[in-house]
A and B are shown apart, each in its own frame.
Chain A
């Protein structure tokens, strides 16, 4: 059993410190609840502010990066390299009139942005970032961390449906209907991708998942990574799955009627999603804060997050959007099958490795050697499946006949 890591910032430590402080001031045992409350407020304050600032800079980064993809310059007026642009945007949105449509369902309309933002923030609680002091830091070490994430992300679809329904706008409701259908469908492949991680790590706790990755899980099961990545891209409804607010079709989708600070909150939640997803992917597949010793773990975590975010940006700036039925088909016909197959494969390999005595000393996860063997097998199978899908299944329906001129028209001249 690994020694319990010294926590840098955690709910428990804060609670202990506040309790000590309260005792120091002279309040008795009966005021222990105050320590819990203060610790909770401190943690919330920390998460909200760090994430809001991170999202602000992320929006700047996204806009700059997409501008580079599009041979443009991007925001470069406010502050150095335009870094103050997000603050200018937020200032503008705050100063705008906060309109609520007459026929809107007002309480639901007001609640929807909060309901969308809160779960996104809550995911950050269980992510083990790693600190600059080489200790695992997490705001709360839930032993069902990943289950918590799966549960909390489901709230997003309700929030989006609330926003669309309450707006009383046809575009908004169309967008939120799509959202409800799509987000619920993609939760299944996402859960399948997570399940394969759980088989190998043998624990639901995020810290355990990180520490069990003696070989990063992206190397062990590329297929699981693909399934999870595709599903989570859909979960945050970004290109090629951005049906919820399909700009060229629905105007703005579920947030059509929102303005002012409510829109800012929706926007914040939407742009926080890539950060959160990158954090989850890093934890599950890229070994969290693992890395070489010359840099602290937190820096490694940030670097890996950065790579994932960049890949997501790359998707967004290159690909067109799929149609809604194609998206649903992709979830149920492709990702669902791949996810199940991946679980089957990993489970089979795990039990075989168990037979051959490949379990590590903690008797839950495998030794690095066995992980590498499984990884090699999985890579070969994945590449084979990609080749089959690309050449046998995929291209066939797109072959087009050689065009023959219609007999209905004759230009009256001989072809040269």
Chain B
């Protein structure tokens, strides 16, 4: 029987595509529906954050970090100010540390909600889970608005503490949110976790083994989904993470479902952390007095935190001036894309979208 001659087709997925989470471009070669090759193309959202930072002073750079991972500005703020504090040896008051942890964990929930919602959107659910996720995220953004007046680009943290103490009404709203969130998550889970179609689409898709994950430098929920128990909050406790009890959820095989489920469990752990912080927090100052122009001593520092997407690190070299001599970001979204080709090759077009969605990239951070 004569075979019909076929040839692979190369499709440009993006930069304008509904499911690339921004302006990400993938040159994908298809053999029918199956993916034989793939080449990611970055840089459509490159704004030169690292270079810009070299001509700003240390407080101004906080606003630049907001614009990197714009879904999780708090975490970026924290990672940045911690590096400045390490560089210039600034002590942070305890209350500020608690407020930082609360806001960062809230941000983690917000970011994971968005990741989950968009993963479901990529799966083809007509925005219903996405809207449910956004409903809860809005309440978290309301809390941020109480803290600092902004909702997305927060710039809440400063070297030496936070910009201002949380207002009185913040604590009441936080308490109601914390008591409401578990039921919200249950609702979301009832829609997704045991959904037959979600299971059929995600289980076993986009496998990333633990060796592969470690070799490619992947961090965050993706690493933990590949059953590697690694969390900077436990491995290298910063702020007050050594004073709170929480588990590090891991997945069993490292497929798309695990990446979703690890995020969901992490949200529950974050709720646990926040409620412990609310109990432990005591009145006090929230900001160490620092000069307006911080001039760190000559030297270099690297500090990282466990952001919602992975290890978010900042490396800074100071020459004693008011702005860093060199500014480098270890962006988790960018590094998590390293195993993309291995994960996607051999799967079908629909899988490509959900694997990319489960990695949860934010293009502001990938391209910086």
Task: List residues of chain A with CB under 8 Å of any chain B CB.
Answer: 66, 69-72, 170-171, 174, 178, 239-240, 242, 246-251, 316-326, 394, 397-398, 400-406, 408-409, 411-413, 416
Please state if A320 and B231 are interface contacts (CB–CB under 8 Å).
no
* Cβ 8 A contact of A411, one of B201, B235, B257: B235
Q: With the chains together, A238 CA to B117 CA distance in Å?
A: 20
Chain A residues contacting B135 (CB-CB under 8 Å) are 71
Stretch at the interface among B119-127, B149-157, B273-281, B326-334: B119-127
| Given the contacts A239-B124, A240-B124, A405 and B201 also touching, CB distance less than 8 Å | no
> Is B170's CB within 8 Å of the partner chain A?
no
In whole angstroms, how far apart are the Cα atoms of A324 and B120 in the complex?
17
**Contacting residues, chain A, for B17 (C-beta < 8 A):** 251
- Find the residue from A70, A316, A406 having the highest chain B CB count within 10 A: A406
Contact A174 B349 (CB under 8 A): yes
Interface centre among A66, A247, A320, A403 (most CB of B within 10 A): A320
Question: A318 with B124: in contact, given A249-B349, A408-B214 (CB under 8 Å)?
Answer: no
A401 to B203 CA separation, bound complex (whole angstroms): 12
* Nearest-CB residue, chain B, relative to A407: B210
B264 vs chain A, min Cβ distance (A): 14
Answer yes or no: B33 CB below 8 A from chain A CBs.
yes
The answer, among B33, B124, B352, for a CB contact under 8 Å with A320, is B124
Return chain A residues, CB-CB under 8 Å to B19.
Answer: 248-249
In the complex, A398 Cα to B261 Cα: how many Å? 14
Asked if B353 contacts A249 (CB within 8 A), the reply is: yes
Known A320-B198, A326-B200, A401-B252: A71·B132 in contact at CB below 8 Å: yes
The residue of chain B having its C-beta at the shortest distance from the C-beta of A67 within the complex is B131
| Contact B235 A412, beta carbon cutoff 8 Å | yes
Interface pair A242/B124, CB less than 8 Å apart: yes
Q: Provided the pairs A248-B19, A405-B228 are in contact, do residues A318 and B191 lie with their beta carbons within 8 angstroms?
A: yes
Binding site secondary structure of chain A = loop
B196 at the interface (CB under 8 A from A): yes
B238 contacts chain A at the CB level, 8 A cutoff: no
**A249 contacts which chain B residues (CB < 8 A)?**
19, 124, 349-350, 352-353
Q: Mark B197-239, 1 if CB is under 8 A from A, else 0.
A: 1111101000000110010000000000011111100110000
When A and B form their complex, which 9 residue pairs have the shortest distance between CB atoms, in order from nearest? A321-B124, A320-B123, A406-B210, A403-B252, A405-B229, A411-B235, A70-B131, A320-B125, A248-B19
- Asked if B245 contacts A325 (CB within 8 A), the reply is no
Q: Is B253 an interface residue (CB 8 A)?
A: yes
A246 to B19, CA, bound (A): 11
Interface size band for B: 35 or more
| Closest Cβ neighbor of B349 among chain A residues | A249
Q: With a CB–CB cut-off of 8 A, which chain A residues contact B211?
A: 408
Q: Is the CB of A320 within 8 A of B201?
A: yes
| Complex interface bits, B1-45 against A, C-beta within 8 A gives 1, otherwise 0 | 000000001010000011100000000001001000000000000
Q: Are A171 and B124 in contact (CB under 8 A)?
A: no
* Chain B residues within 8 Å of A403, by CB: 227, 250-252
A323 touches B120 (CB 8 A): no
B237 CB to closest chain A CB, in angstroms? 9
Measured between beta carbons, the chain B residues less than 8 angstroms from A247 are 18, 124
Contact A170 B11 (CB under 8 A): yes
How many angstroms between the C-alpha atoms of A401 and B204 in the bound complex?
A: 13
Interfacial residues of chain B within 348-366, with CB under 8 A of chain A in the complex: 348-353
A248 and B131 form a contact (CB under 8 A): no
Shortest Cβ gap from B339 to chain A (Å)? 15
B335-357 contacts to A, CB under 8 A, are 348-353
CB-CB under 8 A from A320, the residues of chain B are 120, 123-125, 195, 197-198, 201
Which residues on the B side are within 8 Å of A324 (C-beta)?
A: 33, 348-350
Assembled-state Cα–Cα distance A70/B125 (Å): 11
List the A side residues contacting B257 at CB < 8 Å.
400
Q: How far is the CA of A20 from the CA of B122 in the complex (A)?
A: 61
CB within 8 A of B350: which of A321, A394, A411, A413?
A321
CB neighbours (8 Å) of A401 from chain B are 252-253
Which residues from A are CB-within-8-Å of B55? none
Q: Is the CB of A70 within 8 A of B228?
A: no
